């Protein structure tokens, strides 16, 4: 049986160093098939592999973050994480093979997400606004630093 959810909010409260952090998002598509989830992110252009591989050039947080939220850290619940390329030809690009999804999500949690959130929450790392207000024009987080009217 296949059940689809499209662009519904998902969330999960995660603890990082005794602090609770709400993770949330709006995945483009979630499919439930045989008690496991397939998470799809629609893209006009699929990012290059180096952008979603867990390494120095990683920047593609969406799919693994959604995997963490949906699974509530039981990564065996996730069957697939994939980009769904929308163009003349539909292309589905899995970001990892099905046998490695749990390892990928575990690595994302420990190597990418946890250090990033610890850095954001660290009182030892100063947070400062940009001096160039136009730099915030497309930022979704202007409410965190108080930048308005960009």
SS (H, E, C) 37-86: EEEEEEECCCCCHHHHCCCCCCCCCHHHHHHHHHHCCCHHHEEEEEEEEC
DSSP character at residue 30 = E
pLDDT of residue 19: 85
What does the DSSP 8-state code read for residue 7?
S
| CA 129 from centroid of its chain's CA atoms | 24
pLDDT computed for residue 131 by the predictor: 65
pLDDT at 101: 95
Task: At 33, list the tokens.
Answer: 């098939």
Q: What pLDDT does residue 120 have?
A: 82
- Mind listing the pLDDT tens digit of every residue in the chain (150 residues)? 455 777 788 999 988 888 898 999 999 999 988 889 999 999 999 999 999 999 999 999 999 999 999 999 999 999 999 999 998 888 999 999 878 999 999 999 999 999 988 888 888 877 666 666 677 777 766 666 666 654
Supply the pLDDT for residue 1. 43
Give the three-class secondary structure for 106: helix
Which whole-number Å values give the CA distances from 29 to 7, 38, 50, 66, 104, in the listed order?
6, 8, 23, 10, 20
Q: List all residues 6 or more positions away from 143 whose beta carbon is below 8 Å from its beta carbon.
A: none
**Domain-by-domain residue ranges, the chain?**
2-145
Burial class (CB in 10 A: 0-12, 13-18, 19+), 110: exposed
Residue 129 is predicted with a pLDDT of 63
- Whole-angstrom CA distances from 42 to 27, 46, 54, 63 are 9, 9, 21, 10
Joined together, the tokens standing for residue 71 give: 């699974």
């Amino acid at each position: 049986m296949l059940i689809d959810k499209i662009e519904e909010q998902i969330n999960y409260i995660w603890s990082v160093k005794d602090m609770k952090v709400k993770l949330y998002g709006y995945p483009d598509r979630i499919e439930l098939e045989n008690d496991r989830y397939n998470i799809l992110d629609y893209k006009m252009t699929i990012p290059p592999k180096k952008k979603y591989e867990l390494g120095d050039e990683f920047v593609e947080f969406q799919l693994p973050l959604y995997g963490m939220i949906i699974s509530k850290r039981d990564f065996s619940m996730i069957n697939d994480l994939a980009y769904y390329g929308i163009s003349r030809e539909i292309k589905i690009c899995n970001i990892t093979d099905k046998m490695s999804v749990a390892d990928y999500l575990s690595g994302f949690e420990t190597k990418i997400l946890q250090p990033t959130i610890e850095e954001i929450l660290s009182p030892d790392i100063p947070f400062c606004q940009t001096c160039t207000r136009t730099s915030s024009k497309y930022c979704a987080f202007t409410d965190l630093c108080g930048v308005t009217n960009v």
